[in-house]
């Protein structure tokens, strides 16, 4: 990659990095403010309805999840910046081809070319699809048990016919007698 392009992506990555850092800072400020508001009532949490505590915990876990995601993105951006330093930026980690510049413009921290990314997506979709494919086999099990039921039904039917034939015979016998 030319030095000029490399510089362009370096700036792009730094911009993205600063944005992420701002978001993480905001999240930390918000969660600190949240702690200040609820800090005094922390002891009285025991009087609160368990569902309220649970939803507060859920909110915190949700926020932490988002923060982890932002921090993960930040690490990805930092890794990409390191790649710019050692000159490996812009090549696909899977096939080694150059990553399309349009893709890098949208996703400067992209590790895979569009083809490998699609392949990875398809792989994930396949795994998800496999779960769907397993359902018919479950249906087959249900179907075979249906067959067993109908087979049992036939046996029952035979028994009924046999029984009715018996009773016919009985009746016949009675009639004869």
Shortest Å, Cβ 100 to Zn ion = 10
Nearer to Zn ion, 20 or 90 (CB): 90
Question: Binders of Zn ion: how many residues, by CB under 5 A?
Answer: 5
Shortest Å, Cβ 67 to Zn ion = 31
What whole-number distance in Å separates Cα of residue 111 and Cα of residue 76? 9
What 8-state DSSP symbol labels residue 43?
G
Nearer to Zn ion, 13 or 90 (CB): 90
Residue ranges in 154-173 that form contacts with Zn ion under rule CB under 5 A: none
Shortest Å, Cβ 116 to Zn ion = 3
Residue ranges in 77-136 that form contacts with Zn ion under rule CB under 5 A: 92, 94-95, 113, 116
Nearer to Zn ion, 57 or 125 (CB): 125
Nearer to Zn ion, 14 or 94 (CB): 94
Shortest Å, Cβ 96 to Zn ion = 7
What whole-number distance in Å separates Cα of residue 98 and Cα of residue 89? 9
Cβ density class 83-114: b for 16+ within 10 Å, e for less? bbeeeebbbbeeeeeebeeeebeebbbbbbbe
CA-based nearest residue to 66, from 118, 33, 39, 28: 28
What 8-state DSSP symbol labels residue 88?
-
Contact 112, 120 (CB under 8 A): yes
List residues binding Zn ion (CB under 5 A). Answer: 92, 94-95, 113, 116
């Amino acid at each position: 990659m030319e030095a000029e392009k490399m510089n362009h992506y370096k700036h792009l990555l730094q911009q993205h990095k600063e944005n992420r850092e701002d978001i993480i800072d905001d999240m930390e400020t918000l969660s600190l403010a949240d702690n200040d508001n609820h800090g005094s009532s922390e002891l009285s949490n025991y009087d609160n309805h368990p569902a309220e505590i649970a939803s507060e915990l859920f909110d915190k876990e949700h926020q932490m999840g988002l923060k982890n995601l932002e921090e993960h993105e930040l690490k990805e951006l930092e890794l990409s910046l390191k790649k710019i330093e050692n000159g490996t930026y812009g090549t696909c980690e899977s096939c080694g081809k150059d990553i399309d510049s349009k893709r890098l413009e949208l996703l400067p921290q992209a590790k895979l070319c569009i083809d490998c990314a699609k392949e990875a997506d398809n792989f994930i979709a396949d795994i998800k699809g496999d779960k769907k494919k397993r359902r018919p086999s479950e249906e087959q099990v249900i179907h075979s048990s249906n067959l067993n039921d109908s087979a049992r039904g036939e046996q029952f039917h035979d028994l009924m016919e046999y029984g009715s034939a018996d009773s016919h015979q009985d009746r016949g016998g009675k009639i004869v007698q």
